[in-house]
């Protein structure tokens, strides 16, 4: 089986396919765009939200979800609606 390995007698995904899966698992959002439009640096945004800049970076790049308890706070800082933090979907394409 391609992309699989035999570990302890059980066929499962190889470490390569697991790391590839993790790299490709994304939580798309518009955080970076909105932050840039408001001329707020990543470091400043991290300070305003009392978080590490690395955590903000991971959220912006979609490697970590925006915490639900932070959505209102982000919206207030970025002068936007909570829904604006997320990628726009063209719902008509699903009809």
Structure tokens at 15: 């470490």
Residues of the chain where predicted confidence (pLDDT) is lower than 50 = 1, 4-13, 18, 21, 91, 94-95
Q: 81 forms bridges with which residues in the sheet?
A: none
pLDDT at 28: 86
Residue 58 CA to residue 31 CA, distance in Å, equals: 11
What per-residue confidence (pLDDT) applies to 27? 86
Q: What is the pTM of this model?
A: 0.67
The pLDDT value recorded for residue 57 is 95
Q: What is the pLDDT of residue 17?
A: 55
Q: Are 64 and 57 in contact (CB under 8 A)?
A: no
State residue 71's pLDDT score: 97
Instruction: Give the pLDDT of residue 26.
Output: 78
Strand spans (E) along 1-95: 4-7, 10-13
Nearby residues of 6 by Cβ (< 8 Å), 6 or more positions away = none
Q: Find, among 84, 83, 90, 26, the residue nearest to 60 by Cα.
A: 26
Q: Which of 56, 65, 55, 57 is nearest to 29 (CA)?
A: 65
């Amino acid at each position: 089986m391609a992309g699989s390995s035999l570990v302890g007698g059980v066929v499962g995904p190889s470490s390569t396919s697991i790391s590839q899966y993790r790299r490709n698992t994304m939580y798309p959002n518009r955080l970076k765009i909105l932050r840039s439009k408001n001329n707020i640096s990543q470091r400043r945004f991290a300070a305003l939200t009392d978080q590490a800049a690395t955590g903000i970076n991971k959220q912006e790049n979609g490697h970590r979800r925006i915490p639900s308890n932070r959505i209102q706070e982000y919206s207030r800082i970025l002068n936007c609606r909570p829904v604006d933090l997320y990628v726009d979907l063209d719902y008509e394409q699903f009809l």
